[in-house]
Structure 1
Amino acid sequence: MEKKTDVMSIRVNEKIKEKISKEADSKNMTVNTLVNQIITNHVEEGTVFQDLDFTSVRKQLLKKLFNSMPKEEVTKMAGTMCKEFFKDTTMYLYGKYDLESTVRTLESWFNSSNIPFKEIKSEDSIKMVIRHRLGSNWAMYFETMIKAVLEELEVKTDSYVKTIDSFSFRAYY
């Protein structure tokens, strides 16, 4: 089913228009598509993350903080408090807690945090590749948290690969 759209005319500063045009060109998309993405992200995710007490932190600081923590503390935090926070966030954003809403929450989290990721979908699974560049402790944190979340959902997973700068896994529908 095709989504209904409507026309909206807006005025923007000339320099902002130039920047948006350059960004759209660099992403090989139209200005209309880019502006739609920006507005959609703001309306559907931007203000919601404020409600959930998210804050912006420079990656260098986050990496330093995570790498200064003992590994045992990172895994304990990820498997308990962070797993529950992720579940609460998913429920708040999508009103349900399943694989689809979990993947959508990850997408929202990574988009709002400027963490590049890629999804590779097949008929029976989804593979996520996350290029976080936050160090080995953050990769361990994320692995522990996502394994706990998916285990609770009774979702079959495999293909966990972790490096200092990236993490990937496959989850089956």
Structure 2
Amino acid sequence: MTKKTSTITFRIDENYEKGLRKEAEEKRISLNTLANQIFGDHVELEQFMQKFGMVEMSKGAFKEILDSLDEKNIINLAKSIGTKEPRDFILFKWKKLTPDSVSEFIKIYFEHCGYGMCDMQRDESNNAVSIHHSFGKKGSIFLKAFLEAIVQSTLEKEADVTITENSVSLMFSN
């Protein structure tokens, strides 16, 4: 299916143009493709994040917080965050709680917030998510509890989660 496009003309600051052209060149994509990605991110995510009151944090700051907590507190924090915020955000953006909206939230959340590289696979019966991160064992413990809480609080399902030092794999049924 081909997406409909439209042509628009507008002016931008010369310095922004230079920066955008440089980024497009580095990514080896056209300026048009980069602009579509930027506009798409704004329409699909940024405006919802702003309206919802999301705050960004550096990876270093997040790791410091995790390093200052013991395992029990990490799990409690992750469960608390994973139970409240995702459910509200999913309902705010997609208006319904489905395996697809939960999977899409997880993908967007990880890509936007920088918790790690996210790979997702879906078929007719299961959703599988793999995340590679750089937060160490405590990061894996946090992300495991966080993802389990998301699936439980939104879909009322249990997730099968496996962790290593710097990765988390999650599977839940449709």
> Shorter-chain TM-score: what band?
0.7 to 0.9
Residue 17 (1) aligns with residue 17 (2): yes
Name the residue aligned to 1:135: 136
Name the SS of the counterpart of 2:162 in structure 1.
strand
Query: How much identity, in percent, do the aligned residues show?
Result: 22
- Structure 2 segments unaligned to the other structure (5+ residues): none
The alignment yields a C-alpha RMSD, in angstroms, of: 2.4
Moved over 4 A (4+): 154-157
Residue 64 (1) aligns with residue 64 (2): yes
Relative to structure 1, the CA distance from residue 156 to residue 79 in structure 2 (aligned partners, 3 Å threshold; closer, same or farther) is: closer
Name the SS of the counterpart of 1:11 in structure 2.
coil
Q: Distance in 2 between matches of 1:93 and 1:60?
A: 29
Q: CA deviation at 1:60?
A: 0.7
Residue 166 (1) aligns with residue 173 (2): no
Query: Within 5 Å, which residues of 2 pair with 1:1-173?
Result: 1-124=1-124, 125-152=126-153, 153-155=155-157, 157-158=159-160, 160-173=161-174
Q: CA deviation at 1:63?
A: 0.6
Q: CA deviation at 1:72?
A: 0.8
Q: Is the 8 A contact 1:67 1:136 kept in 2?
A: no
Partner AA of 1:57 in structure 2: M
Q: Distance in 2 between matches of 1:18 and 1:127?
A: 40
How many residues end up aligned between the 2 structures?
Answer: 172
Q: Deviations over 1:102-161 (max 9, x none)?
A: 121122222322344233425344432223323322321221121233245255644x33
Name the SS of the counterpart of 2:134 in structure 1.
coil
Q: Select between 111-120 and 39-48 the one with higher mean Cα deviation.
A: 111-120
- Structure 1 segments unaligned to the other structure (5+ residues): none
Partner AA of 2:14 in structure 1: E
Partner AA of 2:78 in structure 1: A
Q: Distance in 2 between matches of 1:162 and 1:151?
A: 18
Q: Is the 8 A contact 1:129 1:166 kept in 2?
A: yes
Partner AA of 1:71 in structure 2: E
Q: Distance in 2 between matches of 1:109 and 1:60?
A: 18
Name the SS of the counterpart of 1:105 in structure 2.
helix
Partner AA of 1:62 in structure 2: F
Q: Deviations over 1:54-85 (max 9, x none)?
A: 11211111111112112112212322443122
TM-score, normalised to structure 1's length? 0.82
TM-score, normalised to structure 2's length? 0.82
Partner AA of 1:167 in structure 2: V
